[in-house]
Structure 1
Amino acid sequence: MNPVSPVSPVSPVSPVSPVSPVIDLNADLGEGFGRWRLTEDEQLLSIVTSANVACGFHAGDATTMRRVCALAAERGVRIGAQVSYRDLAGFGRRAMDVPADELAAEVAYQIGALEVFARAAGAGVAYVKPHGALYNRIVHDEEQAAAVVDGVLLAGPLPVLGLPGSRFLEVAAKAGLPVVPEAFADRAYTDEGTLVPRTREGAVVTDPSAVVERSLGLARDSQVTSLDGRRITVRARSLCLHGDTPGAVDLARRVRARLLDSGIEVAAFA
């Protein structure tokens, strides 16, 4: 299997130049279940511009989805459906083989569930972002990528967030969906521009200062250093800040402040 190039031929929702004056900040939110809460949703919704809300398959439940959608709408934050393989026990991070028609139906199901609560809050689902193992699988797997796209089309022609150069964004663009390439400041990259698997040491960047500076480099220069020390190009319109890491709120606040102080506008993608 050939590696995916970090430079994607797919056109994003809005043009991205090597010096990007505008960046969206997205975070995975609503990743709790019942009495268990993982993410500091209320505080993060005062910082990010797009909220990837768990739809019940890897985390999240009806009460959580309703609460997060209400908070997001109140603060003018875009609501996105974070769809996953059906894997509550593994937090959606375990490799699974799901038939294409079943996966498409389950993606549409998750989007539909979130749409109820988004509409009740006076908003709507504005985009879709796959989670965990599904996100990584569709970087290379065209069949699974097409199934996710079919699910999005079933629910409505929504924009999708994904890795630049991935099969997912290519298939989505061919199907007429707006695509939004994203980058990760707290995840290590391979020399090919893909994410280093979490099973490998160093896959997650834990030094807050390093995450802040990587955020600036990605937003301003479309550049980041891979785990093996190579400077690579990652053109992105959105920057993901994980909400389940220790000190996530303070880190997200520092990232936003650093971007704004550097003359970069923080705003949801068009």
Structure 2
Amino acid sequence: MPHARNGDTELYYETDGDGYAEPPDDDRSGTTAVTFVGELGFGPWQWGWQHAALAGPYEAVVPATRGTGDSDAPPGPYSVETLAADLEAVLADAGVRSTHLVGVGLGGMVALTAALGSDRIRKLALVGTAAYGDGLNPEPLRPDRDGLAAFESSLDAVFSREFVDAQPDAISRIAEWRAAEDAGPEAWQATRAALDAFDVADRTYEVTNEALVLHGTADAVCPPAKGEELADGLPRGEFVPVEGAGHLANVEHSKLVNDRLLAFFGD
């Protein structure tokens, strides 16, 4: 399985899909991939609901953020800039010259930072994301290593009450995936530090990429008003509320989100 390297840190990633979608007319760099950038401390499991829809028309690139999955977990603190450099290392190792980015929470912040510094980045889809670290309350995302029941209960803050009550089997599986792939306490705290210094509120006008800002209306981790504020500050930003969804709107309402992503990337 492939690993990229950023300095001494090895970063695991997977690729899949033929990438048969036509690139935009103004994109001369060849086939455009879709790369997924994860939420604070969450492993690659969080993209299982997008993979089947997007891997095919696009080459899908799924990195494991440092500290999660099979990626290294070096001592922290980490910064958003470091995580963006990790992303660039993965894209270079995978031979990706052109990619759309899908990011959730901290992953959306990494996507914004990458768009400011890399010519590989095309469109941005940002889920539950704010323009500054204080816009996200990370405490509900903190890992709890006291058993699967604790992982399950922690998901109450990530999903809407309706989803938790209606999908007990899914919640159980997600708890198992979190236990297997998520960052441990030390890596989580190292990644948590990346939020402290992140603030592009006065630079969003520099992000000229088309951006789709998707936000669950029941998001208890990043209030929807923060997503609206972000979209308003982006020159080509569009805010799309996902009615009734919690923080991981891409999981709760995956069909709606996937349809919006395919339409957005295909425009």
TM interval, shorter chain, is 0.3 to 0.5
Q: Which has the higher contact order (CA 8 A, sep 6+)?
A: 1
Higher helix proportion (structure 1 or 2): 2
TM-score of the aligned structures, taking structure 1 as reference length: 0.36
TM-score of the aligned structures, taking structure 2 as reference length: 0.36
